[in-house]
């Protein structure tokens, strides 16, 4: 596995050379669309409202501000405000884990020490674990700035990219769909509490499996022997010079006629 980022993990005056690796691998199955008559792949074209195909070099970025009005954004505009590439993940704050709303978490990664950084890495790992804290940092990955939470897990430092506060939809936005002032009886509450108490256990993620993924892979395996070969489009041949081809054809015909005459007179 190759790292997707290399740089420094910084807290105070301590800098730890680290590499960033993905900590998750989503299991999804995607299907291609094929034409039913010959099972050839379906291709998509970019077309304008007039139905004409649009070349890549004719496409610009536009942000819609009203039904028929767009602000045109050039690549140079984006480049001017893109954050500069950074090789430092600087921890600005340490907070308690239970203070972070899980809705903020996005993608997860591992921070792995580079050669010679083991001691500094182990120091931060153990100290954070004993304090039960999460480091909050900002860093740039692939020209985008991220908020991140860094915390110990299974003997390694993990980094979770986070959603910013204004990206979280508050429950109040759905208040019209939520139950209002509903009166609950003591009997109902006691029954619910008993049911919940009977189901409380330790979280064991390995016991929860993606049943749909397993079913789809089993279905694909069962049909593997009857897989259909798709019909591929013929590759474009060598460009032919029409005049040269005509001249060659005429010359061949003349040569054949000349050969016939020789046979007759021979």
pLDDT digits (tens, 9 = 90+) for 153-172: 999 999 999 999 999 999 88
Could you tell me the two tokens for 31?
A: 């299907």
- The CA–CA distances, whole Å, from 10 to 92, 126, 153 equal 9, 16, 19
Question: Region 214-227: what's the mean pLDDT?
Answer: 84
- Given CA atoms 109, 110, 115, 121 in this order, what sign does their dihedral have? positive
* Model pTM score: 0.69
Q: H or E segment at 220?
A: helix 211-223
Q: How confident is the model at residue 241 (pLDDT cuts 50, 70, 90)?
A: low
Every domain of the chain and the residues it spans: 5-25+82-167
**Where do we find the tokens 């600087």?**
90
Say how far apart CA 93 and CA 133 lie, in whole Å. 10
> What pLDDT sits at residue 12?
81
Would you say residue 242 has pLDDT above 60?
no
Say how far apart CA 165 and CA 58 lie, in whole Å. 37
Question: How does strand 69-73 pair with strand 61-66?
Answer: antiparallel
End-to-end CA distance of the chain: 78
Question: Region 132-143: what's the mean pLDDT?
Answer: 90
Would you say residue 250 has pLDDT above 80?
no
Q: How confident is the model at residue 18 (pLDDT cuts 50, 70, 90)?
A: very high
What is the residue-averaged pLDDT of the chain?
86
**136 or 239: which leads in pLDDT:** 136
**Where do we find the tokens 């899980």?**
102
The three-state secondary structure class of 112 is: strand
Would you say residue 176 has pLDDT above 90?
no
Task: Give the residue among 168, 169, 89 at the shortest CA–CA distance from 136.
Answer: 89
pLDDT in tens, 39-89: 889 988 899 989 899 998 899 999 999 988 999 998 888 888 877 777 899
> What pLDDT sits at residue 28?
87
Report whether 109 contacts 22 (CB < 8 A). yes
Backbone angles phi, psi at 16, to 5 degrees: -120, 115
Fold of 5-25+82-167: Ku70; Chain: A; Domain 2 (2.40.290)
> What pLDDT sits at residue 240?
46
Question: Region 28-35: what's the mean pLDDT?
Answer: 89
């Amino acid at each position: 596995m190759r790292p997707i980022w290399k740089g420094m993990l910084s807290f105070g005056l301590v800098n730890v050379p680290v590499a960033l690796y993905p900590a998750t691998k989503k299991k999804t199955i995607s299907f291609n669309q094929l034409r039913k008559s010959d099972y050839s792949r379906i291709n998509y074209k970019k077309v304008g409202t007039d139905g004409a195909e649009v070349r890549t070099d004719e496409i610009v970025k536009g942000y819609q501000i009203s039904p028929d009005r767009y602000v045109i954004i050039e690549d140079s505009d984006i480049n001017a405000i893109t954050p500069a590439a950074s090789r430092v993940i600087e921890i600005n704050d340490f907070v308690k884990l239970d203070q972070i709303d899980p809705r903020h978490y996005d993608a997860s990664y591992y921070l792995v020490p580079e050669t010679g950084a083991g001691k500094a890495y182990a120091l931060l790992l153990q100290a954070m674990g004993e304090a039960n804290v999460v480091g909050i940092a900002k860093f740039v990955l692939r020209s985008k700035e991220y908020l991140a939470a860094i915390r110990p897990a299974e003997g390694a430092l993990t980094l979770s990219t986070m959603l910013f506060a204004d990206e979280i939809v508050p429950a109040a936005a759905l208040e019209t769909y939520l139950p209002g002032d509903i009166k609950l009886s003591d009997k109902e509450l006691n029954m619910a509490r008993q049911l919940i108490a009977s189901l409380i256990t330790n979280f064991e993620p390995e016991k929860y499996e993606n049943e749909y993924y397993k079913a789809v892979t089993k279905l694909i395996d069962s049909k593997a022997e009857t897989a259909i070969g798709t019909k591929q489009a013929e590759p474009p041949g060598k460009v032919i010079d029409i005049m040269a081809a005509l001249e060659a054809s005429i010359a061949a015909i003349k040569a054949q006629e000349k050969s016939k005459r020789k046979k007759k007179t021979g």
